[in-house]
Amino acid sequence: MRIFAAASEIFPLAKTGGLADVTGALPGALAGHGMGVVTVVPGYPAVLAALEDHAVVHGYGDLFGGKARLLKGRARGLDIIAVDAPHLYDRPGNIYLGPDGKDWPDNARRFAALSKAAADLACGKAGEDGADILHCHDWQTALAPVYVKFAGGKKPAKTVMTVHNIAFQGQFPASIFGTLGLPAQAFAIDGLEYYGNVGFLKGGLATADRITTVSPSYAQEICTPEFGMGLDGLLRARRDVLAGIVNGIDEAVWDPARDPHLPQTYGAKTLDRRTANKRAVEQRFQLAQGDGILHGVVSRLTWQKGMDIFVACLDALVAGGARLALIGAGEADIEKAILAAAQRHPGRIGAVLGYDEGLSHLIQAGCDTILVPSRFEPCGLTQLYGLRYGCLPVVARTGGLNDTVIDANDAAIRAGVATGFQFSPVDQATLAHALARAADCYADPSLWRGMQKRAMASDVSWSRSAAAYVQLYRNLLKA
């Protein structure tokens, strides 16, 4: 089976978020099932710099405004084809944003070009033999299934469209349609037309042979007006080809037994050693030392993450006897409220504003819980790290949070299967109630220890998810 993937980010070459983690890890996990994946990515400077002895597989005289080459090679352990198009990708800084912090004005062209190159490669029109499957990730590559459908040639590849967050859709004015090199019939309800505009993700969802998203619950949710962000009608119509597959984590990077960021490594049998990490969290976050429950937060400080509601709960959290260590960055109002709460409660609330990989590991290894009160969460990684580190997740019952954490209700406790705490809907009262439930369980050390062990035994690996993708590809080829 020849599989091409297409993505605007891939770890470790180019990353702004979880998308890169998925596109970077999935090829390795699929290799474990005997499947090779070549990923088509933009030739950003960092990608071209990492490319080892490449071959030029195709040249374009004019790819959206300039010459381009498709370079095939290995980069940091990945098989890639880089779209070397300097007029589109040879820019410093963030891959989506210009120096003014706004989207590059030609993002439509930049990612139409990526989609076109991926479709040409997959359909055997760009020097390669073509592919059986073309797996596209998010709006930046969502035009590829449209190109395959409307301009595919003799043997178009089967296409898979994966949605990592439906909030990002790639919508542009109708005036760009003429630049895309698609036949007129593509600007239609079964193509990329979206309320009179051009919708990249809409086009991908309308034309791909299969649609996936990153958890079964999110797959259901995006079919509803509340979560579908305008695309729910289309998704309901295509429900028979929609599936949810939960992401895995990089278990080498997130391994409490070998984590270089920790003062003290530990395993499920040596949970007592976590205490040294708790002491380190207290010190680093200027918290009073103590054995009482210590909550942790590692998050973007945004509305999506429910952080506005969380900050409103902080006084009650402290009044209940708990402490908090938080690292995050985001919306100014939320940052301000957190700093104010830390000032009101010295020794009880410790906050670091910014992004710090090391501290994020320390929180997972030293705090008792990790809080994820998201309003929506396609998959979520933070709670998966929490499970692996025995840092019990307290999560909103939504999306991937719902699918990966088993709530400690009475039945689950009696059955010995609970791994964390869920609450719903996301508001102050339900969050406060979940925190109180966590504190109650924490007061019973053998119950807590049992939950930690179970959490650490949860399968958060890529192998299970990769098997699900393999099955999906196989079914698609049979279809």
CA 166/CA 163 separation, integer angstroms: 6
The smaller minimum CB distance to ligand ADP, of residues 103 and 357, is found at: 357
> Is there binding between residue 248 and ligand ADP (CB under 6 A)?
no
Question: Of the candidates 188, 355, 443, 463, which one interacts with ligand ADP according to CB under 6 A?
Answer: 355
Q: In what order do the strands lie in the sheet with 421-423?
A: 349-353, 323-330, 294-301, 369-372, 392-396, 421-423
CA 335/CA 307 separation, integer angstroms: 9
Residue 421: CB minimum distance to ligand ADP, A: 17
> Is there binding between residue 360 and ligand ADP (CB under 6 A)?
yes
What is the distance between the terminal CA atoms of the chain, rounded to a whole angstrom?
15
Tokens read off for 248: 């895995």
Secondary structure (3-state) at 380: coil
CA 73/CA 55 separation, integer angstroms: 7
> Is there binding between residue 404 and ligand ADP (CB under 6 A)?
no
Question: Of the candidates 10, 13, 18, 399, which one interacts with ligand ADP according to CB under 6 A?
Answer: 18
> Is there binding between residue 241 and ligand ADP (CB under 6 A)?
no
Residue 85: CB minimum distance to ligand ADP, A: 27
For ligand ADP, which stretch binds (CB under 6 A), given 119-127, 182-190, 379-387, 465-473?
379-387
> Is there binding between residue 12 and ligand ADP (CB under 6 A)?
no
The smaller minimum CB distance to ligand ADP, of residues 118 and 362, is found at: 362
Question: Of the candidates 107, 159, 277, 299, which one interacts with ligand ADP according to CB under 6 A?
Answer: 299
Residue 361: CB minimum distance to ligand ADP, A: 8
Question: What residue spans of 239-371 are helical by DSSP H?
Answer: 274-284, 307-312, 314-319, 332-344, 357-366
Residue 328: CB minimum distance to ligand ADP, A: 5
> Is there binding between residue 113 and ligand ADP (CB under 6 A)?
no
The smaller minimum CB distance to ligand ADP, of residues 73 and 256, is found at: 256
> Is there binding between residue 162 and ligand ADP (CB under 6 A)?
no
> Is there binding between residue 329 and ligand ADP (CB under 6 A)?
yes
For ligand ADP, which stretch binds (CB under 6 A), given 122-130, 143-151, 258-266, 326-334?
326-334
> Is there binding between residue 17 and ligand ADP (CB under 6 A)?
yes
Q: Considering only residues 23-62, where is the footprint of ligand ADP by CB under 6 A? A: none
CA 394/CA 293 separation, integer angstroms: 13
CA 44/CA 92 separation, integer angstroms: 9
Provide the residue type at 429 as one letter. A
> Is there binding between residue 273 and ligand ADP (CB under 6 A)?
no
Nearest to 137 by CA among 230, 22, 42, 304: 22
The smaller minimum CB distance to ligand ADP, of residues 43 and 170, is found at: 170
The smaller minimum CB distance to ligand ADP, of residues 161 and 379, is found at: 379
Long-range CB contacts (< 8 A, 24+ apart) of 12-15?
A: 12/76, 13/41, 13/44, 13/46, 13/47, 13/50, 13/75, 13/76, 13/78, 13/80, 14/41, 14/42, 14/44, 14/46, 14/47, 14/95
Residue 436: CB minimum distance to ligand ADP, A: 24
Question: What residue spans of 51-142 are helical by DSSP H?
Answer: 86-89, 107-122
> Is there binding between residue 390 and ligand ADP (CB under 6 A)?
no
The smaller minimum CB distance to ligand ADP, of residues 12 and 181, is found at: 12
The smaller minimum CB distance to ligand ADP, of residues 58 and 375, is found at: 375
Residue 349: CB minimum distance to ligand ADP, A: 16
CA 479/CA 468 separation, integer angstroms: 16
Nearest to 93 by CA among 45, 21, 42: 45
Tell me phi and psi for residue 84, to 5 degrees: -85, 95
> Is there binding between residue 381 and ligand ADP (CB under 6 A)?
yes
Q: In what order do the strands lie in the sheet with 193-194?
A: 171-172, 197-199, 193-194
> Is there binding between residue 103 and ligand ADP (CB under 6 A)?
no
- Per the listing, tokens 């992004």 go with 355
Provide the residue type at 129 as one letter. D
The smaller minimum CB distance to ligand ADP, of residues 211 and 351, is found at: 351
For ligand ADP, which stretch binds (CB under 6 A), given 29-37, 135-143, 267-275, 327-335?
327-335
Question: Of the candidates 315, 357, 440, 444, which one interacts with ligand ADP according to CB under 6 A?
Answer: 357
8 Å CB contact between 68 and 59 = yes
Give the residues lining the site for ligand ADP (CB under 6 A). 17-18, 298-300, 327-329, 355-357, 360, 380-382
